[in-house]
Amino acid sequence: MLAHYTGEMMTLLGIPDPWIWIAYLASFATVIFCCVYGWRKGNVEDETDE
C-alpha cells in the first residue's frame, strides 16, 4: 500500500516521518514542474532572442 494511516501517523511507502516523505514528494513535484514547464515553454518562440 502506498500510504498507510496507523492511527497515530501516516506512513508513506513505509516511511513514518512526514518530514522525510514530504522531501520525497517535493522532489518529485519539482521534477514534474520542470518537465511540464520545460515542455510548454520549450515549444514556444523565444521573444528575447537576439
Interface mask toward another protein for 1-40; x: CB under 8 A: x---------x-xxxxx-xx--xx-xxx-xx-xxx-xxx-
Nearer to another protein, 10 or 23 (CB): 23
| Secondary structure of residue 11 in the 3-state scheme | strand
Dig out the grid coordinates for 2 from the structure: 502506498
Locus of grid cell 515542455: 39
Nearer to another protein, 8 or 45 (CB): 45
| Secondary structure of residue 14 in the 3-state scheme | coil
| Secondary structure of residue 12 in the 3-state scheme | strand
Residues lying near another protein in the complex (CB under 8 A) are found at 1, 11, 13-17, 19-20, 23-24, 26-28, 30-31, 33-35, 37-39, 41-46, 48-50
